[in-house]
Chains A and B, each alone.
Chain A
Amino acid sequence: MANIVRAIGDRSIRAYIDPERGTVSRELYVNDDIFAQELEQIYQRCWLLLGHESQIPNPGDFVVTRMGTEEVLMVRDRKDHKIRAFLNSCRHRGMKVCRYDEGNTLVFTCPYHAWTYDTKGKLVGVGFGNYANAYTDTLPTGSEEWGLVEVGQICNFYGSIWATWDPKAPSFQDYLGPFAESLRHCLQSSDGEDAGLEFFTPFQRHRIPTNWKVPGFTSVTDLTHTAMTHRSAQAAGLHEDRGTGKETAKPFPQEKYAIGDHNLGHGGMCTFYDQLGVPDYANEWFEPGVDDYFRAQTERKKLLIADRIMPPHGWGGGHFAIFPAVMVDSWRIRYYHPHETGITERWSLFGVDKNAPDHVKDAVRHYAERFNGPVGFFESDDMENWNYVFPASQGATARKYDYFYRNGLGHGKYDDRLPGVVVNGSYTEEAHRARFSRWLAFMEAKSWDDLYPLNKSANHNIWPGVDGQASAKA
Protein backbone atom coordinates (compact mmCIF):
# COMPACT_ATOMS: atom_id res chain seq x y z
CA MET A 1 0.00 0.00 0.00
CA ALA A 2 2.84 2.31 0.79
CA ASN A 3 4.23 2.76 -2.67
CA ILE A 4 1.09 3.56 -4.58
CA VAL A 5 -0.91 6.74 -4.44
CA ARG A 6 -4.25 5.31 -5.40
CA ALA A 7 -6.06 8.54 -6.14
CA ILE A 8 -3.59 9.56 -8.81
CA GLY A 9 -3.37 6.34 -10.72
CA ASP A 10 -0.58 3.87 -10.60
CA ARG A 11 2.61 5.87 -10.41
CA SER A 12 4.92 4.85 -7.62
CA ILE A 13 5.58 7.49 -5.01
CA ARG A 14 9.16 7.83 -6.28
CA ALA A 15 7.83 9.40 -9.45
CA TYR A 16 6.86 12.50 -7.48
CA ILE A 17 10.46 13.54 -7.04
CA ASP A 18 12.68 14.33 -10.02
CA PRO A 19 16.25 14.25 -8.72
CA GLU A 20 17.91 15.18 -12.01
CA ARG A 21 15.74 18.25 -12.34
CA GLY A 22 15.88 19.07 -8.62
CA THR A 23 12.11 19.19 -8.25
CA VAL A 24 9.40 17.81 -6.01
CA SER A 25 5.77 17.39 -6.96
CA ARG A 26 3.20 19.52 -5.20
CA GLU A 27 1.20 16.33 -4.66
CA LEU A 28 3.47 15.65 -1.70
CA TYR A 29 1.99 18.70 -0.05
CA VAL A 30 -1.66 18.65 -1.07
CA ASN A 31 -2.62 15.01 -1.57
CA ASP A 32 -4.73 13.41 1.17
CA ASP A 33 -3.56 9.89 0.33
CA ILE A 34 0.06 10.86 0.67
CA PHE A 35 -0.75 12.56 3.95
CA ALA A 36 -2.41 9.40 5.28
CA GLN A 37 0.60 7.35 4.24
CA GLU A 38 2.98 9.75 5.96
CA LEU A 39 1.21 9.20 9.24
CA GLU A 40 1.84 5.45 8.92
CA GLN A 41 5.23 5.40 7.27
CA ILE A 42 6.88 8.34 8.99
CA TYR A 43 5.03 9.29 12.18
CA GLN A 44 4.62 5.70 13.37
CA ARG A 45 8.35 5.07 13.03
CA CYS A 46 10.40 8.19 13.61
CA TRP A 47 11.70 9.51 16.87
CA LEU A 48 9.54 12.51 17.74
CA LEU A 49 10.02 15.26 20.30
CA LEU A 50 7.71 15.11 23.33
CA GLY A 51 9.01 17.99 25.44
CA HIS A 52 11.50 18.65 28.20
CA GLU A 53 11.96 17.14 31.63
CA SER A 54 11.81 20.60 33.21
CA GLN A 55 8.09 20.66 32.35
CA ILE A 56 7.41 17.79 34.74
CA PRO A 57 9.85 18.09 37.66
CA ASN A 58 7.77 16.39 40.38
CA PRO A 59 6.47 12.85 40.83
CA GLY A 60 2.99 12.62 39.31
CA ASP A 61 3.54 15.64 37.03
CA PHE A 62 2.24 15.30 33.50
CA VAL A 63 1.92 17.39 30.38
CA VAL A 64 -0.13 16.68 27.29
CA THR A 65 1.98 16.65 24.18
CA ARG A 66 1.60 15.25 20.67
CA MET A 67 3.04 12.70 18.30
CA GLY A 68 1.81 13.71 14.89
CA THR A 69 -1.97 13.88 14.84
CA GLU A 70 -2.34 12.18 18.22
CA GLU A 71 -2.22 13.39 21.80
CA VAL A 72 0.28 11.82 24.13
CA LEU A 73 0.63 12.11 27.90
CA MET A 74 4.18 12.66 29.11
CA VAL A 75 4.18 11.59 32.75
CA ARG A 76 6.67 11.35 35.60
CA ASP A 77 5.71 8.32 37.63
CA ARG A 78 4.93 9.09 41.23
CA LYS A 79 6.76 5.99 42.51
CA ASP A 80 9.87 5.37 40.40
CA HIS A 81 10.04 8.99 39.09
CA LYS A 82 10.72 7.75 35.54
CA ILE A 83 9.26 9.59 32.56
CA ARG A 84 6.88 7.58 30.40
CA ALA A 85 4.56 8.47 27.56
CA PHE A 86 1.14 7.14 26.63
CA LEU A 87 -1.45 7.67 23.95
CA ASN A 88 -4.26 9.82 25.33
CA SER A 89 -6.97 7.34 24.44
CA CYS A 90 -8.83 5.08 26.81
CA ARG A 91 -8.35 1.39 26.18
CA HIS A 92 -12.01 0.72 26.90
CA ARG A 93 -13.60 2.59 24.04
CA GLY A 94 -11.31 5.41 23.11
CA MET A 95 -12.25 8.51 25.11
CA LYS A 96 -9.47 10.95 25.99
CA VAL A 97 -8.39 10.00 29.49
CA CYS A 98 -6.95 13.46 30.10
CA ARG A 99 -8.34 16.77 28.95
CA TYR A 100 -6.17 19.10 31.03
CA ASP A 101 -3.05 20.63 29.49
CA GLU A 102 -0.83 19.70 32.41
CA GLY A 103 -0.94 18.96 36.11
CA ASN A 104 -0.06 16.54 38.85
CA THR A 105 -2.07 13.42 39.40
CA LEU A 106 -2.30 9.96 40.93
CA VAL A 107 -4.33 8.52 38.09
CA PHE A 108 -5.90 9.37 34.76
CA THR A 109 -9.59 8.63 35.08
CA CYS A 110 -11.67 8.30 31.96
CA PRO A 111 -14.85 10.36 32.21
CA TYR A 112 -16.83 7.83 30.14
CA HIS A 113 -17.03 4.54 32.09
CA ALA A 114 -14.34 5.30 34.68
CA TRP A 115 -11.44 3.15 33.64
CA THR A 116 -8.55 4.65 35.56
CA TYR A 117 -4.82 4.35 34.89
CA ASP A 118 -1.87 5.07 37.15
CA THR A 119 1.19 7.09 36.17
CA LYS A 120 2.81 3.92 34.79
CA GLY A 121 -0.17 3.57 32.43
CA LYS A 122 -1.50 0.51 34.23
CA LEU A 123 -5.25 0.04 34.47
CA VAL A 124 -5.83 0.21 38.22
CA GLY A 125 -9.57 0.58 38.48
CA VAL A 126 -12.81 0.48 36.54
CA GLY A 127 -16.28 1.68 37.38
CA PHE A 128 -18.41 -1.23 38.66
CA GLY A 129 -15.20 -3.28 39.04
CA ASN A 130 -16.69 -5.05 42.01
CA TYR A 131 -20.05 -5.85 40.40
CA ALA A 132 -20.34 -9.51 39.63
CA ASN A 133 -22.94 -8.73 37.01
CA ALA A 134 -20.72 -6.18 35.23
CA TYR A 135 -17.28 -7.52 34.39
CA THR A 136 -17.95 -11.02 35.86
CA ASP A 137 -14.80 -12.98 35.00
CA THR A 138 -13.51 -10.42 32.48
CA LEU A 139 -12.16 -7.81 34.90
CA PRO A 140 -9.23 -6.22 33.08
CA THR A 141 -7.84 -4.33 36.08
CA GLY A 142 -4.13 -4.83 36.66
CA SER A 143 -3.61 -6.79 33.47
CA GLU A 144 -0.77 -5.77 31.19
CA GLU A 145 -3.08 -6.05 28.23
CA TRP A 146 -5.39 -3.14 29.03
CA GLY A 147 -2.98 -0.45 30.14
CA LEU A 148 -2.64 2.82 28.25
CA VAL A 149 -0.80 2.41 24.96
CA GLU A 150 2.81 3.20 25.75
CA VAL A 151 5.34 4.51 23.25
CA GLY A 152 7.69 1.92 21.78
CA GLN A 153 10.81 3.65 23.06
CA ILE A 154 11.51 6.81 25.02
CA CYS A 155 14.77 8.68 25.47
CA ASN A 156 15.88 11.48 27.75
CA PHE A 157 18.56 13.26 25.74
CA TYR A 158 20.20 15.84 28.01
CA GLY A 159 16.80 16.80 29.36
CA SER A 160 14.85 16.75 26.11
CA ILE A 161 12.37 13.89 25.87
CA TRP A 162 11.87 11.96 22.64
CA ALA A 163 9.82 8.90 21.74
CA THR A 164 8.98 6.57 18.90
CA TRP A 165 6.06 4.22 18.51
CA ASP A 166 8.32 1.68 16.83
CA PRO A 167 10.18 -0.73 19.12
CA LYS A 168 12.36 -1.62 16.13
CA ALA A 169 13.63 1.92 15.61
CA PRO A 170 17.36 2.41 16.27
CA SER A 171 18.42 4.11 19.49
CA PHE A 172 17.83 7.86 19.54
CA GLN A 173 21.59 8.40 19.57
CA ASP A 174 21.93 6.38 16.35
CA TYR A 175 18.89 8.12 14.88
CA LEU A 176 20.65 11.45 15.44
CA GLY A 177 23.93 10.18 14.03
CA PRO A 178 26.42 13.02 13.57
CA PHE A 179 23.84 15.53 14.84
CA ALA A 180 23.95 14.12 18.38
CA GLU A 181 26.79 16.40 19.41
CA SER A 182 25.07 19.43 17.90
CA LEU A 183 21.83 18.71 19.73
CA ARG A 184 23.72 18.10 22.96
CA HIS A 185 25.45 21.43 22.49
CA CYS A 186 22.13 23.23 21.98
CA LEU A 187 20.86 21.85 25.27
CA GLN A 188 23.84 23.16 27.21
CA SER A 189 23.68 26.34 29.22
CA SER A 190 25.69 29.25 27.91
CA ASP A 191 28.66 28.24 30.08
CA GLY A 192 28.78 24.84 28.41
CA GLU A 193 27.19 22.76 31.15
CA ASP A 194 25.36 19.70 29.80
CA ALA A 195 21.56 19.78 30.18
CA GLY A 196 22.02 23.24 31.64
CA LEU A 197 18.80 24.64 30.20
CA GLU A 198 15.31 24.77 31.55
CA PHE A 199 12.36 25.62 29.35
CA PHE A 200 9.70 28.22 30.00
CA THR A 201 6.24 26.80 30.45
CA PRO A 202 3.91 26.30 28.76
CA PHE A 203 4.21 25.23 25.16
CA GLN A 204 3.45 27.99 22.68
CA ARG A 205 0.84 26.24 20.55
CA HIS A 206 -0.72 27.58 17.39
CA ARG A 207 -2.29 26.53 14.12
CA ILE A 208 -0.85 27.14 10.70
CA PRO A 209 -3.20 26.41 7.82
CA THR A 210 -0.74 24.58 5.60
CA ASN A 211 0.85 21.19 5.05
CA TRP A 212 3.29 20.19 7.80
CA LYS A 213 6.20 19.93 5.35
CA VAL A 214 5.89 23.55 4.26
CA PRO A 215 7.39 24.82 7.50
CA GLY A 216 8.64 21.41 8.66
CA PHE A 217 10.94 20.79 5.70
CA THR A 218 12.11 24.35 5.19
CA SER A 219 12.27 26.47 8.30
CA VAL A 220 15.77 26.77 9.80
CA THR A 221 17.30 25.64 6.53
CA ASP A 222 15.89 28.17 4.12
CA LEU A 223 18.32 31.04 4.10
CA THR A 224 17.03 32.57 0.89
CA HIS A 225 13.62 33.34 2.42
CA THR A 226 14.93 35.54 5.22
CA ALA A 227 15.64 38.78 3.44
CA MET A 228 12.26 38.94 1.70
CA THR A 229 9.92 37.22 4.16
CA HIS A 230 11.33 39.11 7.11
CA ARG A 231 11.84 42.40 5.30
CA SER A 232 9.67 44.23 7.81
CA ALA A 233 11.15 42.84 11.02
CA GLN A 234 14.01 45.27 10.99
CA ALA A 235 11.54 48.14 11.39
CA ALA A 236 10.33 46.61 14.60
CA GLY A 237 13.77 46.97 16.10
CA LEU A 238 13.75 43.40 17.34
CA HIS A 239 15.92 41.80 14.76
CA GLU A 240 18.42 39.12 15.68
CA ASP A 241 21.19 41.69 15.52
CA ARG A 242 19.66 43.35 18.50
CA GLY A 243 21.30 45.47 21.12
CA THR A 244 23.05 48.79 21.00
CA GLY A 245 26.77 49.26 20.90
CA LYS A 246 27.41 45.82 19.51
CA GLU A 247 31.08 45.13 19.93
CA THR A 248 33.23 43.97 17.14
CA ALA A 249 34.49 40.71 18.52
CA LYS A 250 37.82 39.31 17.50
CA PRO A 251 37.38 37.37 14.26
CA PHE A 252 36.94 33.68 14.95
CA PRO A 253 37.67 31.60 11.85
CA GLN A 254 34.63 29.69 10.76
CA GLU A 255 32.83 28.40 7.67
CA LYS A 256 29.10 28.58 7.08
CA TYR A 257 27.20 26.01 5.08
CA ALA A 258 23.87 24.43 4.40
CA ILE A 259 24.16 20.76 5.30
CA GLY A 260 22.00 17.71 4.90
CA ASP A 261 22.30 14.09 5.94
CA HIS A 262 20.53 12.24 3.15
CA ASN A 263 20.51 8.97 5.06
CA LEU A 264 19.10 10.41 8.27
CA GLY A 265 17.16 13.39 6.94
CA HIS A 266 18.54 15.90 9.43
CA GLY A 267 20.13 19.13 8.33
CA GLY A 268 20.16 22.86 8.41
CA MET A 269 22.39 25.84 8.55
CA CYS A 270 25.75 25.04 10.02
CA THR A 271 28.96 26.63 11.18
CA PHE A 272 32.23 24.73 11.24
CA TYR A 273 34.73 26.33 13.58
CA ASP A 274 38.31 26.38 12.42
CA GLN A 275 39.83 27.23 15.75
CA LEU A 276 39.86 25.65 19.19
CA GLY A 277 37.65 27.09 21.89
CA VAL A 278 34.81 29.59 21.89
CA PRO A 279 34.43 32.95 20.13
CA ASP A 280 34.41 36.13 22.20
CA TYR A 281 31.01 37.24 23.39
CA ALA A 282 29.49 40.11 21.41
CA ASN A 283 26.84 42.29 23.06
CA GLU A 284 23.35 41.67 21.79
CA TRP A 285 20.88 42.68 24.50
CA PHE A 286 19.10 45.96 25.14
CA GLU A 287 18.28 45.05 28.73
CA PRO A 288 20.87 46.16 31.29
CA GLY A 289 23.09 43.52 32.84
CA VAL A 290 22.20 40.75 30.42
CA ASP A 291 25.30 41.07 28.28
CA ASP A 292 27.42 41.05 31.46
CA TYR A 293 25.91 37.74 32.43
CA PHE A 294 26.42 36.12 29.04
CA ARG A 295 29.95 37.45 28.75
CA ALA A 296 30.88 35.88 32.08
CA GLN A 297 29.22 32.63 31.01
CA THR A 298 31.16 32.66 27.75
CA GLU A 299 34.41 33.10 29.66
CA ARG A 300 33.56 29.99 31.71
CA LYS A 301 32.75 28.08 28.56
CA LYS A 302 36.06 29.13 27.03
CA LEU A 303 37.88 27.48 29.91
CA LEU A 304 35.77 24.36 29.60
CA ILE A 305 36.47 23.71 25.94
CA ALA A 306 39.67 25.63 25.36
CA ASP A 307 41.31 22.56 23.85
CA ARG A 308 38.42 21.45 21.65
CA ILE A 309 36.66 22.58 18.53
CA MET A 310 32.99 23.31 19.17
CA PRO A 311 30.52 21.02 17.44
CA PRO A 312 29.04 22.52 14.29
CA HIS A 313 26.60 24.81 16.02
CA GLY A 314 26.56 27.58 18.58
CA TRP A 315 25.13 31.01 19.26
CA GLY A 316 24.99 32.59 15.86
CA GLY A 317 26.13 29.30 14.40
CA GLY A 318 22.96 28.48 12.56
CA HIS A 319 20.28 26.04 13.42
CA PHE A 320 19.09 22.67 12.22
CA ALA A 321 16.21 20.24 11.96
CA ILE A 322 15.83 16.70 13.19
CA PHE A 323 13.74 14.60 10.83
CA PRO A 324 10.84 14.70 10.38
CA ALA A 325 10.04 18.16 11.71
CA VAL A 326 11.80 19.26 14.88
CA MET A 327 13.67 22.55 14.84
CA VAL A 328 16.54 23.10 17.23
CA ASP A 329 18.79 25.96 18.05
CA SER A 330 20.38 27.18 21.21
CA TRP A 331 17.29 28.91 22.57
CA ARG A 332 14.32 27.07 21.04
CA ILE A 333 13.09 23.60 20.41
CA ARG A 334 9.88 23.17 18.48
CA TYR A 335 7.95 20.73 16.39
CA TYR A 336 5.39 20.79 13.63
CA HIS A 337 2.48 18.42 14.08
CA PRO A 338 0.40 17.37 11.12
CA HIS A 339 -3.33 17.67 11.80
CA GLU A 340 -4.75 17.40 8.31
CA THR A 341 -3.23 17.65 4.85
CA GLY A 342 -3.57 21.43 5.07
CA ILE A 343 -3.50 22.02 8.82
CA THR A 344 -0.44 22.01 11.01
CA GLU A 345 0.04 22.86 14.65
CA ARG A 346 3.35 24.10 15.96
CA TRP A 347 4.46 23.64 19.56
CA SER A 348 7.48 25.53 20.82
CA LEU A 349 9.54 25.60 23.97
CA PHE A 350 12.00 28.36 24.76
CA GLY A 351 15.06 27.61 26.83
CA VAL A 352 17.12 29.60 29.29
CA ASP A 353 20.07 28.80 31.53
CA LYS A 354 18.70 27.03 34.59
CA ASN A 355 20.89 29.07 36.87
CA ALA A 356 20.48 32.44 35.19
CA PRO A 357 19.44 35.34 37.42
CA ASP A 358 15.90 36.68 37.07
CA HIS A 359 16.78 39.71 34.96
CA VAL A 360 18.38 37.40 32.38
CA LYS A 361 15.44 35.02 32.41
CA ASP A 362 13.10 37.98 31.92
CA ALA A 363 15.05 39.28 28.95
CA VAL A 364 15.23 35.88 27.29
CA ARG A 365 11.53 35.23 27.92
CA HIS A 366 10.52 38.60 26.50
CA TYR A 367 12.60 38.02 23.44
CA ALA A 368 11.07 34.58 22.93
CA GLU A 369 7.53 35.95 23.31
CA ARG A 370 8.09 38.79 20.89
CA PHE A 371 10.10 37.02 18.24
CA ASN A 372 8.21 33.77 17.84
CA GLY A 373 4.88 32.38 16.78
CA PRO A 374 1.65 34.01 15.63
CA VAL A 375 2.35 37.09 17.72
CA GLY A 376 6.06 37.24 16.92
CA PHE A 377 7.50 40.16 15.03
CA PHE A 378 9.69 37.83 13.13
CA GLU A 379 7.66 34.73 12.63
CA SER A 380 4.28 36.27 11.86
CA ASP A 381 5.68 36.93 8.40
CA ASP A 382 6.51 33.25 7.99
CA MET A 383 2.93 32.31 8.84
CA GLU A 384 1.49 34.28 5.95
CA ASN A 385 3.81 32.68 3.40
CA TRP A 386 3.45 29.19 4.80
CA ASN A 387 -0.31 29.58 4.84
CA TYR A 388 -0.94 30.76 1.30
CA VAL A 389 1.45 28.24 -0.23
CA PHE A 390 -1.25 25.70 0.43
CA PRO A 391 -4.32 27.08 -1.40
CA ALA A 392 -2.13 28.32 -4.23
CA SER A 393 -0.61 24.85 -4.76
CA GLN A 394 -3.74 22.82 -4.44
CA GLY A 395 -5.63 23.42 -7.65
CA ALA A 396 -5.84 20.95 -10.50
CA THR A 397 -3.57 23.18 -12.54
CA ALA A 398 -1.20 24.22 -9.78
CA ARG A 399 -0.52 20.71 -8.60
CA LYS A 400 0.90 19.75 -11.99
CA TYR A 401 3.84 22.15 -11.56
CA ASP A 402 6.66 20.93 -9.38
CA TYR A 403 8.44 22.85 -6.64
CA PHE A 404 12.00 24.00 -7.23
CA TYR A 405 14.61 22.55 -4.86
CA ARG A 406 17.58 22.92 -7.15
CA ASN A 407 19.83 25.49 -5.42
CA GLY A 408 23.29 23.99 -5.36
CA LEU A 409 22.19 20.67 -6.82
CA GLY A 410 25.26 18.61 -7.67
CA HIS A 411 27.64 20.88 -5.76
CA GLY A 412 27.51 19.15 -2.39
CA LYS A 413 30.55 17.51 -0.83
CA TYR A 414 31.20 15.15 2.00
CA ASP A 415 33.27 16.54 4.84
CA ASP A 416 35.24 14.56 7.42
CA ARG A 417 34.12 16.87 10.19
CA LEU A 418 30.55 15.55 9.89
CA PRO A 419 30.82 12.09 8.38
CA GLY A 420 28.00 11.14 6.03
CA VAL A 421 26.64 14.66 5.84
CA VAL A 422 26.55 16.58 2.57
CA VAL A 423 27.94 20.08 2.90
CA ASN A 424 26.97 22.78 0.44
CA GLY A 425 26.82 26.56 0.03
CA SER A 426 24.95 28.27 2.84
CA TYR A 427 22.15 29.55 0.58
CA THR A 428 21.63 26.22 -1.19
CA GLU A 429 18.74 23.84 -0.70
CA GLU A 430 20.95 20.95 0.40
CA ALA A 431 19.15 20.52 3.72
CA HIS A 432 15.75 20.48 2.00
CA ARG A 433 16.89 17.82 -0.43
CA ALA A 434 18.20 15.66 2.40
CA ARG A 435 14.72 15.73 3.94
CA PHE A 436 13.26 14.43 0.69
CA SER A 437 15.85 11.67 0.41
CA ARG A 438 14.84 10.53 3.86
CA TRP A 439 11.13 11.13 3.22
CA LEU A 440 11.23 8.83 0.22
CA ALA A 441 13.18 6.19 2.12
CA PHE A 442 10.50 6.13 4.83
CA MET A 443 7.65 6.15 2.35
CA GLU A 444 9.11 3.16 0.51
CA ALA A 445 10.44 1.19 3.46
CA LYS A 446 8.54 -1.85 4.69
CA SER A 447 10.10 -1.49 8.11
CA TRP A 448 13.15 -0.13 9.89
CA ASP A 449 15.05 -3.09 8.38
CA ASP A 450 15.12 -1.18 5.10
CA LEU A 451 16.24 2.05 6.70
CA TYR A 452 19.56 3.51 7.70
CA PRO A 453 21.07 3.17 10.29
CA LEU A 454 19.66 -0.32 10.90
CA ASN A 455 20.49 -1.17 7.33
CA LYS A 456 23.92 0.38 6.96
CA SER A 457 24.24 -0.59 3.33
CA ALA A 458 21.31 1.63 2.39
CA ASN A 459 22.28 4.85 0.63
CA HIS A 460 19.16 6.96 0.51
CA ASN A 461 20.58 9.97 -1.27
CA ILE A 462 18.38 10.28 -4.35
CA TRP A 463 19.99 13.43 -5.77
CA PRO A 464 22.78 13.40 -8.35
CA GLY A 465 26.36 14.38 -8.15
CA VAL A 466 27.55 14.49 -4.56
CA ASP A 467 31.31 14.38 -4.60
CA GLY A 468 31.27 12.10 -7.62
CA GLN A 469 29.41 9.38 -5.74
CA ALA A 470 26.56 7.43 -7.24
CA SER A 471 23.13 8.32 -5.95
CA ALA A 472 20.51 5.84 -4.82
CA LYS A 473 18.29 6.34 -7.83
CA ALA A 474 16.24 3.28 -8.67
Chain B
Amino acid sequence: MSETYNIKGQDGIQVFTDLPEGAQVTLTNGAVGTIIGNPRDGAFLEVTYSEHPDSSLVGADEFVFFNQVESAASK
Protein backbone atom coordinates (compact mmCIF):
# COMPACT_ATOMS: atom_id res chain seq x y z
CA MET B 1 0.00 0.00 0.00
CA SER B 2 1.59 3.24 -0.99
CA GLU B 3 1.22 6.23 1.27
CA THR B 4 1.03 9.72 -0.18
CA TYR B 5 3.00 12.44 1.53
CA ASN B 6 1.21 15.72 1.91
CA ILE B 7 3.99 18.04 0.75
CA LYS B 8 1.66 20.93 -0.09
CA GLY B 9 -0.14 21.36 3.21
CA GLN B 10 0.71 23.53 6.16
CA ASP B 11 3.26 20.99 7.41
CA GLY B 12 4.52 20.43 3.87
CA ILE B 13 7.98 21.85 4.48
CA GLN B 14 8.60 19.40 7.30
CA VAL B 15 7.11 16.51 5.33
CA PHE B 16 9.29 17.41 2.34
CA THR B 17 12.38 17.72 4.53
CA ASP B 18 11.71 14.27 6.00
CA LEU B 19 10.92 12.44 2.73
CA PRO B 20 12.73 9.11 2.94
CA GLU B 21 15.01 7.54 0.37
CA GLY B 22 13.07 5.19 -1.85
CA ALA B 23 9.96 7.35 -2.00
CA GLN B 24 8.59 8.13 -5.46
CA VAL B 25 8.17 11.68 -6.67
CA THR B 26 6.23 12.97 -9.63
CA LEU B 27 7.48 16.23 -11.05
CA THR B 28 5.56 19.06 -12.64
CA ASN B 29 6.99 18.16 -16.05
CA GLY B 30 5.59 14.65 -15.75
CA ALA B 31 8.88 12.99 -14.83
CA VAL B 32 8.83 10.29 -12.17
CA GLY B 33 11.79 9.44 -9.98
CA THR B 34 12.93 7.66 -6.86
CA ILE B 35 14.54 9.64 -4.06
CA ILE B 36 18.13 8.52 -3.59
CA GLY B 37 19.17 11.35 -1.30
CA ASN B 38 17.47 13.99 0.81
CA PRO B 39 19.83 16.73 1.98
CA ARG B 40 17.13 17.84 4.45
CA ASP B 41 17.55 21.44 3.41
CA GLY B 42 13.86 21.79 2.59
CA ALA B 43 14.81 22.72 -0.95
CA PHE B 44 16.20 19.81 -2.94
CA LEU B 45 15.82 16.07 -3.43
CA GLU B 46 18.23 13.86 -5.29
CA VAL B 47 16.28 11.53 -7.56
CA THR B 48 16.88 8.85 -10.18
CA TYR B 49 14.41 9.20 -13.03
CA SER B 50 12.35 6.18 -14.01
CA GLU B 51 10.28 8.22 -16.43
CA HIS B 52 11.14 11.52 -18.04
CA PRO B 53 9.70 13.47 -21.01
CA ASP B 54 13.27 13.59 -22.31
CA SER B 55 13.87 9.87 -22.57
CA SER B 56 17.65 10.32 -22.52
CA LEU B 57 17.31 11.27 -18.83
CA VAL B 58 15.67 8.00 -17.78
CA GLY B 59 18.09 6.41 -15.32
CA ALA B 60 19.90 9.72 -14.69
CA ASP B 61 20.30 11.32 -11.24
CA GLU B 62 19.40 14.91 -10.64
CA PHE B 63 18.76 17.33 -7.79
CA VAL B 64 15.23 18.68 -8.11
CA PHE B 65 13.95 21.85 -6.48
CA PHE B 66 10.87 21.63 -4.29
CA ASN B 67 8.67 23.64 -6.63
CA GLN B 68 9.28 21.04 -9.35
CA VAL B 69 7.85 18.31 -7.14
CA GLU B 70 4.14 17.74 -7.75
CA SER B 71 3.62 14.83 -5.38
CA ALA B 72 5.39 12.18 -3.37
CA ALA B 73 4.40 8.71 -2.30
CA SER B 74 6.04 5.76 -0.66
CA LYS B 75 6.92 2.89 -2.96
Contacts and interface: CB of A to CB of B under 8 A. Distances in A.
Do A's and B's CB atoms come within 8 Å in the complex? yes
B44 A125 contact: yes
Nearest to B27: A130
B12 interface: no
A212 B29 CA distance: 54
Given A116-B44, A130-B28, A106 B65 contact: no
B68 A109 contact: no
Interface string A97-140: 00000000111010000101000000011111110000000000
A106 B65 CA distance: 14
Nearest to B61: A124
B2 interface: no
B51 interface: no
| Count class of interface residues, chain A | 10 to 19
B41 A127 contact: no
B39 to A, nearest CB: 4
A106 B67 CA distance: 19
B41 A107 contact: yes
Given A105-B39, A114-B43, A116-B43, A127 B63 contact: no
Interface in B13-67: 27-29, 37-39, 41, 43-44, 46, 62-65, 67
B44 A128 contact: no
Contacts, number: 43
Interface residues of B, number: 16
A385 B43 CA distance: 48
A130 B52 CA distance: 13
Contact of A109 (B27, B28, B37, B41): B41
Interface of B: 27-29, 37-39, 41, 43-44, 46, 62-65, 67-68
A-B complex: 10 closest residue pairs judged by Cβ atoms = A125-B63, A106-B39, A109-B41, A107-B39, A124-B63, A106-B37, A109-B43, A127-B65, A114-B43, A130-B68
Interface of A: 105-107, 109, 114, 116, 124-130
19 contacts: A106-B37, A106-B38, A106-B39, A107-B39, A107-B41, A109-B44, A114-B44, A114-B65, A116-B44, A124-B63, A125-B44, A125-B62, A125-B64, A125-B65, A126-B65, A127-B65, A129-B68, A130-B28, A130-B68
Given A106-B39, A127-B43, 12 more contacts: A106-B46, A107-B39, A107-B46, A107-B63, A114-B43, A114-B65, A116-B39, A116-B41, A125-B64, A125-B65, A127-B67, A128-B65
